[in-house]
């Protein structure tokens, strides 16, 4: 999947829509506000609740359980957030299926009773690529756990880097997001309108969301836009 478009190429395109006003070097700050705006747009697209097939890692047998041990530190340098976890039983007995989907929790207490694990949570993230997972109940046997997770956003260090991991086929998303961010500097009403379009296009492109997740995200994203638009309209009428 191609990731060939650079942030600078996107900036070259959108300057025509902001009357050639500067996107870098503003206030004497190199690459700003363009670079921070680009990172904001990328993080918005990749952050929860969005699930993308191009940003997913399937870590087979990421965890091998130890009888009586509930917590497992794993090195995952690109870990963002957990989508699915599957407990694999190498020695199923009778009608017991070999695979079980674990229920994902935000946090779990430590259990002392041994049984087949049914739940998983991220207990600790040291921000250095080391993630500690907790299983509940404590494993009663040796299992493996497959993890499917979304990668964390990559922070661009310069404008000549690509929009990876976002594929070129979704260029319309970051183009609209960047256009909105740059317009906010010069014309807030126009920038807010394009920011709303960006959020709506983002939700529309995200196939993995439920209708409830779409509604919640849009409500949270559009509420401050509506409030700011109302403030600007009120200020205009008072002039």
The pLDDT tens digits for 95-105 are 667 899 999 99
Domain map (residue ranges) of the chain:
7-47+154-238, 54-151
Over 80: is that where the pLDDT of 38 sits?
yes
Distance between CA atoms of residues 131 and 227, nearest Å: 38
pLDDT tens for residues 210-220?
A: 999 999 999 99
Instruction: Provide the pLDDT for residue 197.
Output: 97
- Residue 239, pLDDT score: 64
Q: Is the distance from CB of 107 to CB of 123 less than 8 angstroms?
A: yes
Question: What pTM was estimated for this model as a whole?
Answer: 0.88
- φ, ψ of residue 222 to 5 degrees: the values are -90, -20
pLDDT surpasses 70 at 1 = no
Closest CA to 101 of 123, 116, 122: 116
Task: With a cut of 70, say whether residue 78 has pLDDT above it.
Answer: yes
Residue 238: pLDDT over 80: no
Q: What is the pLDDT of residues 79-117, one digit of tens each?
A: 999 999 999 987 777 666 789 999 999 999 988 889 999
pLDDT tens-digit series, residues 149-168: 999 998 999 999 999 999 99
DSSP bridge pairs for 136 = 119
Average pLDDT, the chain: 93
Strand 56-64, strand 144-151: pairing: antiparallel
């Amino acid at each position: 999947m191609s990731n060939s478009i650079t942030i600078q190429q996107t900036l070259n395109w959108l300057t025509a829509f902001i009357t050639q006003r500067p996107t870098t070097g503003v206030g004497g700050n190199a690459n700003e506000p363009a670079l921070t705006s680009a990172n904001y747009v990328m993080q918005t697209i990749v952050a929860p609740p969005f699930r993308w097939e191009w940003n997913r890692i399937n870590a087979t047998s990421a965890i091998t359980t130890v009888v009586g041990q509930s917590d497992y530190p794993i090195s995952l340098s690109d870990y963002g957030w957990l989508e699915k976890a599957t407990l694999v039983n190498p020695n199923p007995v009778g009608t017991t299926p070999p695979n079980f989907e674990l229920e994902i929790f935000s946090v779990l207490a430590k259990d002392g009773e041994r049984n087949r694990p049914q739940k998983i949570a991220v207990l600790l993230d040291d921000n250095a690529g080391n993630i500690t997972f907790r299983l509940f109940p404590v494993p009663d046997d040796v299992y493996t756990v497959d993890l499917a997770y979304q990668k964390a956003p990559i922070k661009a260090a310069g404008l000549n880097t690509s929009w990876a991991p976002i594929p070129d086929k979704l260029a319309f998303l970051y183009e609209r997001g960047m256009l909105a961010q740059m317009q906010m500097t010069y014309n807030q009403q126009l920038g807010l309108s394009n920011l709303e379009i960006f959020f709506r296009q983002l939700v529309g492109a995200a196939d993995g969301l439920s209708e409830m997740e779409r509604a919640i995200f849009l409500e949270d994203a559009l509420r401050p836009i509506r409030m700011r638009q109302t403030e600007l309209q009120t200020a205009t009428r008072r002039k």
